[in-house]
Amino acid sequence: MAASAAVRSAVSLTQRFVRVSPDCSICPLYRLNACTGATDGFTAPSRRLRTSIGVCQSGDSSSPEEEERVVNVVYIDRCGPEDSCPRPGAGENALHLAHKHGVDLEGACEASLACSTCHVYVSSEHYEKLPEPEEREDDMLDMAPMLQENSRLGCQIVLTPELDGMELTLPKVTRNFYVDGHLPKPH
């Protein structure tokens, strides 16, 4: 009873923008000691967290309203059977869901594995649950700046119940760094 009440109140929060401060430990700039710290103060929608209609958050969504670097996180949760949240379509991919709910994940080639603009970082506990990327996806990922161990293309992440609670972080790519500091040379 209490749980479903909590869930229902969480549902009413789904349309609000929430900012979450980032986890520095996953950021390659931090790991390279190249973190510049301050945000540029740009408050476009793409820099805010948004929960999707199909999301039911558990109670502990405390979100410190810090102005420091904001990371995009898309919550793609599946509703449990005891409430009335609409579900994302079975087999829908993360890019389409993001677009449906106005998250600024670019998909220049429209999910045809011809670009890397939908590059996301997958929360580690869910990354293992994803099927191995096919060769073509790996080829495209190789071109994405700030590639990490948990990088995937959003258009290739097909949503299944076991991915409940997955967090997808959009890379902040103001500079063209690779994880190891490699700077792409002109070509």
Given the rule CB under 8 A, which residues bind another protein? Answer: 40-42, 44-46, 104, 106, 108-110, 112-117, 135-136, 138-140, 142-145, 147, 173-174, 176, 178-180, 182-187
Quote the least distance from Cβ 25 to another protein, whole Å: 20
Give the helix/strand (H/E) hosting 169.
Answer: strand 166-170
| Residue 62 to residue 23: CA distance in whole angstroms | 14
Closest approach of another protein to the CB of residue 175, in Å: 9
Closer residue to another protein, CB minimum distance, 76 or 105: 105
By three-state DSSP, how is residue 119 classified? strand
In terms of CB distance, is 11 or 103 closer to another protein? 103
Name the residue among 42, 43, 73, 69 with its Cα closest to residue 55.
73
Instruction: Give the shortest CB-50-to-another protein separation in angstroms.
Output: 14
Residue written as token pair 């476009």: 44
Residue 66 sits at φ, ψ, to 5 deg, of -90, 150
Nearer to another protein, 8 or 136 (CB): 136
